[in-house]
Amino acid sequence: MANINLKINNIPVTVPEGTTILEAARLANITIPTLCYLKDVNCVGSCRMCLVEATGARGLVAACVYPVSEGMEVKTNTEKCRTSRKMTLELLLSKHKKKCLSCERNHNCELQRLSAEYEADEDYFETDPGLEHPIDVSAPYVVRDRDKCINCTRCVAACQKQSVGAIGPIGRGYVSHIGSAFEMTLMESVCVGCGQCIVACPVGALKERSTVDEVWNAIGDPQKKVVFFTAPSVRATLGEAFGLPVGTNVEGKMVAAIRRLGNVEVFNMDVTADLTILEEANELIARIQNGGTMPMFTSCCPGWVKFVEQKYPEFIPNLSTCKSPQEMFGGLLKTYYCEKNGIDPKDLYVVSVIPCTAKKYECTREEMNGEVNNAITTRELARMIKTAGIDFANLPDEKFDDPFATCSGGGTIFGATGGVMEAALRVAAKTLDGDFKVVEFPEVRGTTPIKEATYSVAGREIRVAVASGLGNAAEILAGIKDGTRHYDFVEIMACPGGCVNGGGQPTLPDSVRNTVNLKDLRAQALYASDSNNELRRSSDSPVIETLYRDYFGAPNSEKAHEILHTHYHADKRI
C-alpha cells in the first residue's frame, strides 16, 4: 500500500493510502473534535463537529470520512472551523434537555465537554419547546430519554452491529429522532438488553435502570442480611471510574470498598463461574457420549440467550441448561448458604455486581425465581462508593469472605471472550483424558470476533468456536444452519470482547475509547490473575470440591439440576 504525504497545521505527516484526515491527525498528536464518530462503531460524518479546511476541497469537510491525498494541506483550528463547531454545538443545545446537574453523565459528557471548550452559549438559540417526551422506563435494564438525544446515531450503529435493530432513526428533517419501530417502548421492542447503546452514547440519553436506592435501603434494614458478589470482569474495570489506568486489577480495593458500604459480606462470583464450568463441561461430555443436541452453546450470557429466544428459537435445544454464574450464586445462597447458617431465605438480600445490563433483565426472569434480589452495574457500584465518601485509590487490599472466596483461574477468565471456552476445555479434556495436562488454549484467546479451533482429546476431535458480539453470533448461526460450519461446542458473548466490554462498564471519554484497546487491556488483567493462580482448573477448587461433597453430590445430579439448571423458551417480539 502506498504512503501519502501531507501537512496538518503545517506539520508533515506520512500515512497509508486510504487514511482519513481524522486518523492522520491523531498520528500527528492533533485532536479534531467529534461527536458522532466512535471507533469500530460509527463513522458517518453527520454531526459536523470534525469539519476542517483542506486543499482541493470545496468548503469544510468532515475529517472522520474524508480521505487524505498526496500534498494535501489541512487546517484544523481556523476561525472558520471554530465558528462552525460552536454554532453546531449551540444548535444541538437548543434541542437538548439541559438538566446537567442531575444527569448521569455530568462531568463525563462529550457534549458538555465540547460546549465548555468552545464556550458555546446554551441559550444562543431558543430552546425547543417540544422537549417534553416521556422517559422510557419500560425495561428493567435500560432507560431512554429522547429529549437528551443529539441524533448522533452511535447507539443505532451499535445496535445494528449487534444484529438486533431495536432502535433507529424515525422521521425526517427537524423532527427526526431515535426510537424503536412504531414508537414501541424498549420492552416491547426486540432489545436484548446488552447495553452497547449505553456505552456508545456520548450524552445521557441512555443509561442503565438504576436500582442503587433499593440496595441502600436493604443495607439499612436491620431485618435483612445483605451479601454482595462480584462478577469476574468487574475487578478489571472498576478502577477506571476512579482514574486508575485501563487494565488495572483492583480486586482487593473493590472488596474493601464494598465492605465499607455497610454491614455486608462480599463473595466472589468466580466461585460459581467454576461451578458453571463443572456443570457445563459435564453436560457437554454427556451430550457427546449420549448423542445429545449438538453443537452445545454456552448459556451464561443473558443477552445472547434472549437473542436466541427471539430470533433463533430453533436453536434453543442447543443452549446449555446451566444457569449463568449470577443465577447459580443466587440459587446457591438461597439454599445451601441459608441452610448452613440458619437463615430464612426471605431475609437474605442478594446483590450481584455485574458488567452487564442484561443481567438486570435476567434477575426478573420467572425461571430464576427471584433468587438474586438486585443486580447493579460496575457504574452503579462506583457511584455508591463515591456517595459513601470512600477514598478508593488509597484503600488497602482485602480478601473476599469465606466460604465463597477461593476460585480457580478458570473462573476468573470468564470475563473475557474465549474465557468460558478455555475454562470448560480445561475440565472437559481432563475428565475425558486423565493424562491431559494442557491448561492454556491460546487459540480461543484474544479479541478476534470469531475464533475456531479443533482439539484432539481421548481419541476424539472436539471442534469449538468462540464469538463475541451478536452480529458475529448471527454469522456463526447462519453457518451452522447452512451446513458450512461444524462444531461440538460454541461460546457466545453478546458484547464485543466479552464481559470486559459489557454495557454496564465505566463510560470512558471518546479520547480514550477511540485510541485505547479497552477490550484487550481489560482482558489482560484477567489472564494475568489466572496465570498467577495455583488453581487453574475449576475442578481443582477446594470450594467446588466441598460443594459437591456436602451438597450436590456430583455434576449434573438431580439436586444440581434443581438448583443450578434452568430452561429457555421462544419469545417472538415482532
**574 residues of the chain, pLDDT tens digit each:** 799 999 999 999 999 999 999 999 999 999 999 999 999 999 999 999 999 999 988 899 999 999 999 999 999 999 999 999 999 999 999 999 999 999 999 999 999 999 999 999 999 999 988 889 999 999 999 999 999 999 999 999 999 999 999 999 999 988 899 999 999 999 999 999 999 999 999 999 999 999 999 999 999 999 999 999 999 999 999 999 999 999 999 999 999 999 999 999 999 999 999 999 999 999 999 999 999 999 999 999 999 999 999 999 999 999 999 999 999 999 999 999 999 999 999 999 999 999 999 999 999 999 998 999 999 999 999 999 999 999 999 999 999 999 999 999 999 999 999 999 999 999 999 999 998 989 999 999 999 999 999 999 988 999 999 999 999 999 999 999 999 999 999 999 999 999 999 999 999 999 999 999 999 999 999 999 999 999 999 999 999 999 999 999 999 999 999 999 999 999 866 5
| Bridge partners (DSSP) listed for residue 451 | 466
DSSP 115-147: HHHTT--TTSSPPPTT--PPPB--SSSEEE-GG
Alpha-carbon distance values, 13 to 10, 60, 174, 190 (Å):
9, 20, 39, 46
170: exposed, middle or buried (Cβ count in 10 Å: 0-12, 13-18, 19+) = middle
3 state DSSP class of 340: helix
The pLDDT, as a whole number, for residue 36 is 97
Listed by start position, the domains of the chain span 3-77, 104-208, 224-564
Alpha-carbon distance values, 481 to 287, 315, 438, 467 (Å):
19, 10, 32, 16
Question: What DSSP character marks residue 246?
Answer: T
- Determine the distance from the C-alpha atom of residue 353 to the mean position of all C-alpha atoms in its chain, rounded to a whole number: 13
* Cβ within 8 Å of residue 339, ≥6 positions away: none
Question: What DSSP character marks residue 487?
Answer: -
Q: Which of 240, 279, 280, 309 is catalytic?
A: 280
Query: What are phi and psi for residue 297, nearest 5 degrees?
Result: -105, 145
Whether 117 is catalytic: no
Q: Which of 306, 323, 359, 451 is catalytic?
A: 359
Whether 283 is catalytic: yes
Q: Which of 36, 64, 300, 322 is catalytic?
A: 300
In angstroms, the CA 43 to CA 462 distance is 40
Q: Which of 104, 251, 309, 362 is catalytic?
A: 362
Instruction: Tell how strand 11-16 and strand 3-8 pair up.
Output: antiparallel
Alpha-carbon distance values, 432 to 426, 435, 539 (Å):
10, 9, 13
In angstroms, the CA 445 to CA 448 distance is 8
The pLDDT, as a whole number, for residue 115 is 98
The pLDDT, as a whole number, for residue 556 is 96
Is the preceding omega at residue 403 within 30 degrees of 0, hence cis?
yes
In angstroms, the CA 320 to CA 308 distance is 12
R_g over Cα of the chain: 25
CATH 3.40.50.1780 fits 224-564, yes or no: yes
Element (H, E) at 454: strand 450-457
In angstroms, the CA 154 to CA 513 distance is 13
Residue pair 405/263 in contact (Cβ under 8 Å)? The answer is no
Whether 240 is catalytic: no
Residue that the C-alpha cell 469539519 belongs to: 51
**CA-based nearest residue to 8, from 35, 31, 37, 39:** 31
Q: Which of 148, 499, 519, 541 is catalytic?
A: 499
The pLDDT, as a whole number, for residue 360 is 97
In angstroms, the CA 375 to CA 360 distance is 5
In angstroms, the CA 301 to CA 304 distance is 5
In angstroms, the CA 463 to CA 449 distance is 17
Whether 189 is catalytic: no
The pLDDT, as a whole number, for residue 574 is 52
Q: Which of 283, 309, 371, 380 is catalytic?
A: 283
Alpha-carbon distance values, 280 to 5, 53, 287, 291, 559 (Å):
55, 58, 10, 16, 15
| Bridge partners (DSSP) listed for residue 54 | 74
The pLDDT, as a whole number, for residue 571 is 83
Q: What is the pTM of this model?
A: 0.95
- Determine the distance from the C-alpha atom of residue 25 to the mean position of all C-alpha atoms in its chain, rounded to a whole number: 30
Count of residues making up the chain: 574
Whether 362 is catalytic: yes
Instruction: Tell how strand 177-179 and strand 168-170 pair up.
Output: antiparallel
Q: How do the residues of the chain divide into helix, strand and coil, expressed in percent and rounded to 5? A: 40, 15, 45
Whether 159 is catalytic: no
Whether 86 is catalytic: no
Cα 458-459-465 angle, rounded to 5 deg? 80
* Cβ within 8 Å of residue 537, ≥6 positions away: 408, 410, 423, 426, 427, 430, 439
3 state DSSP class of 92: helix
The pLDDT, as a whole number, for residue 573 is 62
Q: Which of 117, 339, 367, 562 is catalytic?
A: 367
Q: Which amino acid is at 445?
A: R
120: exposed, middle or buried (Cβ count in 10 Å: 0-12, 13-18, 19+) = buried
Residue pair 49/117 in contact (Cβ under 8 Å)? The answer is no
The pLDDT, as a whole number, for residue 131 is 87
3 state DSSP class of 168: strand
For domain 104-208, give its CATH number from 3.40.640.10, 3.40.50.1820, 3.30.70.20, 3.40.50.12780: 3.30.70.20
Whether 367 is catalytic: yes
**Domain 3-77 adopts which CATH fold?**
Ubiquitin-like (UB roll) (3.10.20)
One-letter-per-residue 3-state SS of 38-74 = ECCCECCCCCCCCEEEECCCCCCEECCCCECCCCCEE
In angstroms, the CA 42 to CA 160 distance is 10
